[in-house]
Amino acid sequence: MPLYKTLKPNKKTIVLVWKISESLSELESIFTNKNSENRLAAMQSKMHKKGFLSVRHLLKVAGYTDDDLFYTDDGKPHLKDGKCISITHSFNFSAIIISNEVVGIDIEKNREKIIKIASKFLGKELEYMDSDLRVFHNTEAPFFMNTEEFKTELIKRLTMIWGGKESLYKIHPDGGLLFKKHLEIEKFYAFNKSSKGWIKKEHCYEIYDIYFENFEGFSLVYAMR
């Protein structure tokens, strides 16, 4: 069944995850309005089209239609009933989070290339990730795991940090955030299910709960109060 996972962090929030196994024509069976049809027509990638349409299927599961969703000029999605929504998709997974409070969500495939770009998004996190990165580049895994296991855990952990920052980025209303400077994820380990995240920008200082789910080589992260 394409509805892969349902999470209910609290009474006011639901997270829905879709595993995209259908053909494009099967996904196209969902109702889309004229605006969405125009957006679909402009997409070149079949994968992006599937992600876009699977989100509309998730809306249906949540009791909404494409007409209930709209985007503001900053590109952020909203629901007409006033509830908050955040949307994400990556490869063959998509997810939405709907809540009475502001929320952000991100899903990412765990890929080795994140090690190469870590310096571009790690800020304060280097205080607890730098030793792991140095160990990896020295190709010496800790005594309790082999090199491949260590690399897998490092990739997962970095992806979770990225996902946490991406979730916070989606929450902040006026953009202009730098991942290294304005967004911070509290220390955690790959087996942890939660952490804390901060948005620190000029007069903005906000703290959120960050939650993690890992499955089938993907990291799902969402932020909420």
pLDDT given at position 142: 54
Query: Which of 41, 73, 100 corresponds to the end of one domain?
Result: 100
- Is the distance from CB of 155 to CB of 112 less than 8 angstroms? yes
For residues 204 and 184, give the distance between their C-alpha atoms in angstroms, rounded to a whole number. Answer: 13
pLDDT in tens, the chain (225 residues): 589 999 999 999 999 999 999 999 999 999 999 999 999 999 999 999 999 999 999 999 999 999 999 999 888 999 999 999 999 999 999 999 999 999 999 999 999 999 999 999 999 999 999 877 776 666 555 555 567 888 888 999 999 999 999 999 999 877 678 999 999 999 998 888 999 999 998 888 899 999 999 999 999 999 998
pLDDT given at position 189: 86
Residues 116 and 87 in one domain: no
Residues 215 and 126 in one domain: yes
Residues 55 and 140 in one domain: no
pLDDT given at position 203: 80
Residues 120 and 202 in one domain: yes
pLDDT given at position 211: 98
Residues 27 and 72 in one domain: yes
Nearest Cα to Cα of residue 110 among 1, 213, 224, 3:
213
Tokens representing 219 are 């990291």
Query: Which of 66, 81, 100 corresponds to the end of one domain?
Result: 100
Tokens representing 63 are 């009791």
Residues 113 and 205 in one domain: yes
Residues 203 and 132 in one domain: yes
Query: Which of 100, 123, 151 corresponds to the end of one domain?
Result: 100
For residues 139 and 206, give the distance between their C-alpha atoms in angstroms, rounded to a whole number. Answer: 38
Tokens 């979730």 belong to 167
Residues 137 and 158 in one domain: yes
Domain count, the chain: 2
For residues 222 and 160, give the distance between their C-alpha atoms in angstroms, rounded to a whole number. Answer: 10
pLDDT given at position 149: 83
- Domain span at residue 203 reads 108-224
Residues 73 and 127 in one domain: no
Nearest Cα to Cα of residue 161 among 181, 136, 133, 190:
190
pLDDT given at position 147: 76
Q: What is the CATH number of the domain that holds 46?
A: 3.90.470.20
pLDDT given at position 138: 66
CB neighbour burial string for 59-80, b if at least 16 within 10 angstroms, e if fewer: beebebebebbeeeeeebeeee
Residues 134 and 219 in one domain: yes
Residues 53 and 114 in one domain: no
pTM of the model: 0.92
Q: For 170-221, what is each residue's pLDDT tens digit? A: 998 776 789 999 999 999 988 889 999 999 988 888 999 999 999 999 999 9
DSSP 96-156: EEEESS-EEEEEEE--THHHHTHHHH-STTHHHHHHHHHHHHTT---TTS-HHHHHHHHHH
For residues 223 and 164, give the distance between their C-alpha atoms in angstroms, rounded to a whole number. Answer: 7
